[in-house]
Structure formats: C-alpha cells, structure tokens
Amino acid sequence: MARRRVREIDVVIETLDTDGLGSATYEDRDVRVRNALPGESVHARVLKRRRGIWYAQADTPEVGALDRQAPPPCAFFPRCGGCALQHLAYDVQLKHKEGRLLRVLEQAGVRPQKVRLPVAGPRLHYRYKARLGCRLLGSELLVGFREAFSSRVSRMDSCQTLALPFARNLPLLQEALAGLEQPHLVPQVELAAGDTEFAYVVRHLQPLTEADRARLLCFARNSGGRLYLQPEGYDSVHPLDPDDGSDYLAYSNLDFGLRYQFRPTDFTQVNPYMNRSLVRNAVLALDPPAGANVADLFCGIGNFSLPLARLGARVHGYEAASASIERAQLNTSLNGLTNQAQFQVVDLYHAEGGTLPEVEFLLLDPPRSGAGPNLRQWAAWPRLERIAYVSCSPDTFAEDARVLQQLGFELVEVGIYDMFPHTAHVETLGVFQRRG
C-alpha cells in the first residue's frame, strides 16, 4: 500500500494553547504545533488531523523566540510525548500555567483576593509514578512514553523526568523485556517509587514461561527494584518473588511526622517534592482548631487526612477506591491516629444527601472531572467555614469556584503548584472562606 506523504507547512505561531502547542492558521485552517512558540516562524510536519484541526511537529527554528529553552533538557523532545513544554524557559512555563488558571477564573466571574506566587521544586527526575508502553518493532522492543499525536511508543534510552532509579535503569529494563521469550505478551510496565524503594509492575497478557520469570527476577535483582506481575486487572497484581518481603512501598511526610505505606497501583501523588509543599500549605490554610470536624473528600490513602488528624482535627475521609480506603485505615493505625481519623468507601458523585456528616472544614481533591453535583449540597452545610480545594484541572476548578461563590464562599487565596514541570499540567490550591 502506498504511504501517504507527510504534509509539510510553514506557519507563524500566534499563541500557546492549554496543551502547550503553538496555535497558527494555515490556509484558513486551525493548526496546533508542537515545539513552537508565539512569534516563531516554523517549518512543521502534519502528523494528525482531528475535527478539522491539523496537529504538526516543528523543526527547531534557527531563530527562536526569546523564551525558547535551547537545547531542551531532553534529547528525545519533541518526539516523545511525555513532555510538552521542554522548549519553553522554565519561569515562562510557570507564567503560562498561572495565566491559564487566572484566565479561566476570570471567565467564570471569580476574582481571587490573593494570588500566591507559583510553587515549584526540582524540574527533573520528579516522576515517582509513570506508565511506559512496550512495542515490538521487528526484533527491537521499544519501552517508553507514547509519541506525541500517536499511540506509538517512543524510542528513548533515557528520561529526564523519571525518578532517578527508573531513569538509570531504563536501558536495563529495555534489555530485560527484549530478552524475554515472548516479549509481545508485555504491553506496558508501571513504575512506582517510595522514599527508598521502587517497583515495576509488568502487565502480561498470557502466563509467562519459567525462563521469562527468571529473566525478570534477574532484572529486579540487578536494578535493585521490586518486580510485580499483573496478569489481569489491578486486583491481580502480585510480587514475582513471593519471598520479596513486604508488599508495600513507603513515603514519609516529615513535616507532620508521618509515614505512609502503599501498593504500587494505589493512587499516590506523582511528584513527592511538590506533594509535601501542597499538603503543608493546604493543611495550614485550612487550619482547623483541635477537635474541629474536617471532611477529606477524594482522600486516597490519607495524604491530607493524616496531617489534619496530626494537628488534632477529627477527620472523616471518603473515597471511591476500596483499596485506597484500606490503605488509609492501615496508615491511620501505623501512625497512631485511630482516634482522630475514620474512612469510608463512598462514590462522592452519586452519594445521597445525608451520607456525609456536616463538618466545619472541607478538603477537596477530586479527579479532573471536578467536585461533582454534590458540591452544592456540601456548600449548604450551615457550619461549613472554610474549604481547601486541590485541583488538577483549571477548567473544573473555575466552574466549581463559580458555584461556591454563588453559594456564599469567597476565593481568598489561589496559586499553582508545579507538579509536572515541562508538561502542560496545572495543579492548583484554592482556599474558600464563607462570607460574613
């Protein structure tokens, strides 16, 4: 079959969009260009067409914008889709993310009383959780992030954003998977690290041979990591070597004298450096007096609940994932806080009125879809004074902020936390106080 010729275009970039792509117009058509900044004239190849928009990747221009970071920290940018903004100077990345948040708040009619300076931490090797795809290409096995605008796996033998143990061991992992008798049975590997230990979760579509299990065990020993197998869903994840010791990884929050245990497939925050700042500032902003009641909604394994309990609040944590609630209960007990915190599995988007106790303080940390339809009901609790809202989506945050404003809450402080440097992801902490 004849290969479709890749279309090449020359465009001038007008703005940077919310995904970190340069927006331009080519023959009256909307074009979004990777590796392109406002003001730049770029030569680009069109890689995808969707709903009338062309998506293209630019060659690095000879004369770049003043804000261009050249060369980018990673040699595999822009082809690897793991990052979107490596070509933009870091301080401008922060301005871009903050600008996006303030714009959507303004569109929603919400004016914050105070905007905190962006909070940032290490820019490289911050990803303590990741999912890598695997793809057999002839006799070569690729293991990496997906390419931009494609489901193909990137050819990469290093990564500047993965946590150091994963970055250092990437070639070893690639070699081990390529050496399997049946490498095509492994579509992905998940990575999860705690403070001192790190783990690989190898998904396999059919039972592995003894020889392949032995190869993976050998990789685990050489890399210093733990290896888990995943034959089906997350419930099927188990250590390859049953004598591997504990099933858990662990991280500490020294600000509050806490230690958390978790399984590699539990939800934990990707960037531990930013997580510590976020937890500290959210908890200090909520500032419940000892004995006050706090609801931690979308609580995961108790990342925010336990610091609040440590300060003397009575914490009620709710979350849909039963495995996370089990871990929250385990961590409460390990940290000696069973009198201060209790947890329950609840689908917060569909919970009936009256399921949750009416509290004075609320911590919200929902997924991208936002707090959901019950936000109005929670905001109507008469004793509710203050809300700390942690968000991974500026759009739903702004929409929820509009609802809270209508229901009598003021956005007293807002700011971004750069959880994912070099990507377009925006993490926000907003603090709402009841008016009057």
CB closer to ligand SAM, 159 vs 351: 351
Give yes or no for residue 267 binding ligand SAM (CB under 6 A).
yes
Alpha helices (runs of H) in 125-271, residue ranges in sequence order: 164-168, 170-178, 210-223
Query: What's the CA gap between 41 and 279, in Å, rounded?
Result: 42
Under the binding rule (CB under 6 A), the answer on residue 348 touching ligand SAM is yes
Which residues pair with residue 26 across a beta bridge?
A: 29
Pattern of binders to ligand SAM over 294-333, x per CB under 6 A?
A: ----xxx--xx--------------xxx--x---------
Q: Contact region for ligand SAM (CB under 6 A) — 189-197, 211-219, 231-239, 261-269? A: 261-269
- The answer to whether residue 365 forms part of the interface with ligand SAM (CB under 6 A) is yes
Q: Measured from the CB of residue 304, what is the shortest distance to ligand SAM in angstroms? A: 6
Q: Looking only at Cα atoms, what is the longest distance across the chain?
A: 72
Task: Tell me whether residue 267 or residue 381 sits nearer to ligand SAM (CB atom).
Answer: 267
Residue placing its CB nearer to ligand SAM in the complex, 87 or 314: 314
Q: Per DSSP, what are the bridge partners of residue 229? A: 202, 238
Residues 6+ apart with CB under 8 A from 198: 163, 165, 166, 191, 192, 224, 225, 226, 249
Convert 25-50 into a string of H (helix), E (strand) and C (coil): EECCEEEEEECCCCCCEEEEEEEEEE
Question: In this complex, which beta carbon is closest to ligand SAM, that of residue 34 or of residue 314?
Answer: 314
Residue 299 a catalytic site member: no
Selected from 91, 140, 181, 347, the binder of ligand SAM by CB under 6 A is 347
Q: How far is the CB of 218 from ligand SAM (least distance, A)?
A: 33
How open is the CA angle 372-376-377, to the nearest 5 degrees? Answer: 105
**Which is nearest to 93 in space by CA: 120, 115, 127?**
120
Task: Please identify, using beta-carbon distances, which residue of 75 and 284 lies nearer to ligand SAM.
Answer: 284
Query: Hey, which residues does 31 pair with through a beta bridge?
Result: 24, 54
Q: For residues 416 and 356, what is the distance between their CA atoms, to the nearest angstrom?
A: 29
Site size with ligand SAM, rule: CB under 6 A: 19
CB of 436 to ligand SAM, least distance (A): 30
Region of 94-102, 167-175, 245-253, 346-354 interacting with ligand SAM (CB under 6 A): 346-354
- Indicate the residue whose CB is closest to ligand SAM: 300
- Out of 26, 234, 248, 349, which residue is the one contacting ligand SAM (CB under 6 A)? 349
Residue type for 79, please? R
CA angle, residues 341, 255, 280, in degrees to nearest 5: 75
Which among 63, 272, 4, 250 is positioned nearest to 163, based on CA atoms?
Answer: 272
The residues in 187-246 that bind ligand SAM, with binding defined as CB under 6 A, are none
CB atoms inside a 10 Å sphere around CB 248: 17
In whole angstroms, the minimum distance from the beta carbon of 426 to ligand SAM comes to: 13
Q: Of these residues, 74, 80, 83, 392, which one is catalytic?
A: 392
Q: Which is nearer to ligand SAM, 219 or 298 (CB)?
A: 298
List residues binding ligand SAM (CB under 6 A). Answer: 267-269, 298-300, 303-304, 319-321, 324, 347-349, 365-367, 392
Active-site residue set: 392
